Structure 1
Amino acid sequence: MSSFIQEELGKQFGAGLDMLSDSIGTCPDAIWQSDGRFSQMAYHTLFFLDYYLTKEPVGFSPPSHFSYSEFEEEPELVIFSKAELLHYLNNCRSKARDFVFSLDEAQLEKRWINESRTMNFSMLEILLYNLRHVQHHVGQINLLLRQVTLQAPEWIYRAEV
């Protein structure tokens, strides 16, 4: 894959992650602690961001310091600190950069297949799917922020690579 395509994907993926970071950071601490929706949605987004960036997803589990998996049918309600979620986001940012900049023509067509085999995507498609998933939840978090605080972060056009 050309370095041009990698850089363009990197800029847009990075912008989505910057927007998620801004959404987490913008939420006032008092609201973050009292309204579990923000923490839960941010964790859900990061969990699946990490999962979809795992080139061999069978057997995936989140970092060990997180107490549950989003694969559980009834996940417990935990309010994670902003700091631990932003740390997770930074780890995912590095993983995304590695994912994008390691793709070559052969790897683009390699298959990403989950355990239940319900998802069978090329590596390029899972990357785009992942970006759409992140942006979907950033939109939801920003809508909640607007409803609760009357403010939300600005749109980010592209990230530096």
Structure 2
Amino acid sequence: MYKNVFMAADNDLIITVLESQYRAAFAMLRAAIVKVPANLWHTHTSRPPLWQLTFHTLWAAKMYLSANPWSFTPWQNAHRGAENLSNKPTTTAHTPSEILSFIDDIQASLAHDLSQLPLHAPSGFEWYPVSRLELHLVNIRHIQHHTAQIIERLKSVGISGFDWVIKG
């Protein structure tokens, strides 16, 4: 079904647009992270703490840019288990600079990762029975969802000035 749609579409254009929207989503997440005061980064009064929410967001983004769960290589500095929001946070939190480095790591291979699998192919993740293109859209929505949560937490303590990034 999807293959017929993509035969008529300009695959290169779609990949260019996807890359731009991933970069825009990461730019908005980055802008939120740099505004988080140190006392809010580690606090456990909001579940999960902001460091864990940002780590989860990036861990999932990196995973779904992989071909499938078996080819996924976790970020080299990851604290094991911190990606799972239902887990109690590890005692060692990722720092904002580590999280920003994680964003850089994902973006460095973004163009390559997007071009590796045909957009009309299955997602590669059995729990997402959609095309690869739709998985990319879900992945971008996931980044934006958690970015919005971070922004709302910051706004609740009087921090504002978040710009909408149209393209990256």
Correspondence for 1:47: 59
Distance 1:113 1:24, change over 3 A: same
- The residue correspondences of 1:50-65 to structure 2 (distance < 5 A) are 50-58=62-70, 60-65=72-77
Contact 1:68 1:75 in 2 (8 A): no
Hey, what does 1:66 align to over in structure 2?
Answer: 78
Whether 1:111 aligns to 2:105 is no
**Cross-structure match for 1:30:** 39
- Following superposition, the deviation at residue 13 of structure 1 comes to 1.6
User: 1:76 — aligned with what?
Assistant: 89
More helix by share: 1
Aligned residues: 154
* 1:139 lines up with 2:153 in the alignment: no
Give the TM-score normalised by the residue count of structure 1. 0.82
Question: Superposition RMSD on alpha carbons, in Å?
Answer: 2.3
Gaps of 5+ in 1: none
Q: Is 1:146–1:152's contact at 8 Å kept on the other side of the alignment? A: no
Paired with 1:64 and 1:26, the residues of 2 have a C-alpha distance of 25
Report matched runs for 1:3-22 at 5 Å. Answer: 3-22=12-31
- Shifted more, 18-27 versus 65-74: the winner is 65-74
Whose RCO is larger (CA < 8 A, sep 6+)? 1
Percent identity for Structure 1 against Structure 2:
25
Q: Are the equivalent residues in 2 in contact too, given 1:108–1:123 (CA < 8 A)? A: yes
Contact 1:53 1:95 (C-alpha < 8 Å) held by counterparts: no
- Take 1:98 and 1:118, find their aligned partners in 2: how far apart are those partners? 24
